[in-house]
Amino acid sequence: MPLKVLDATPSTFGDVFDKFRSEAPNNKANLILFLADIDPSTSLSWCPDCVRAEPVIYKKLEASSDDVALLRAYVGDRPTWRNPQHPWRVDSKFKLKGVPTLIRWENDSVKGRLEDYEAHLGHKIDALVAGK
């Protein structure tokens, strides 16, 4: 199975991220997708950019013949994400500004990223996965 998916929230991220990092050497690409939670009243993400980008990202990653790991990190509901002190906004590794953000994780650091305004672009996703 080429695509391996792990899910995390701010409260579970530490343990899930440790597992993700320990398995990283076994994969051709290791990606972290920071995205908005699902709104229970609509069954959709509260973030329109996430709704647009997620299907494109998943389609590209599932089409890969290489082993790819994807850590989906759910930022929380809109008020939680809007807090300027959100843990991933202030984290020196990630410095999130918007969601969705797709990050390539390599050699225990961020090696590339697609911000919210570009995370739905297939050619950019391909380049990020390929490490270009």
Query: Rg (Cα) of the chain, in Å, rounded?
Result: 14
Q: How would you class 107 by CB atoms within 10 Å of its CB: exposed for 0-12, middle for 13-18, buried for 19 or more?
A: exposed
CA 103 to mean position of chain CA atoms: 6
Amino acid present at 7? D
Q: In the Cβ-directed half-sphere of 40, how many Cα atoms lie within 13 Å?
A: 2
Entry field: residues in the chain:
132
CA–CA dist 53, 43 (Å, integer):
16
Residue whose tokens read 């999130």: 96
- List residues with catalytic annotation: 47, 50
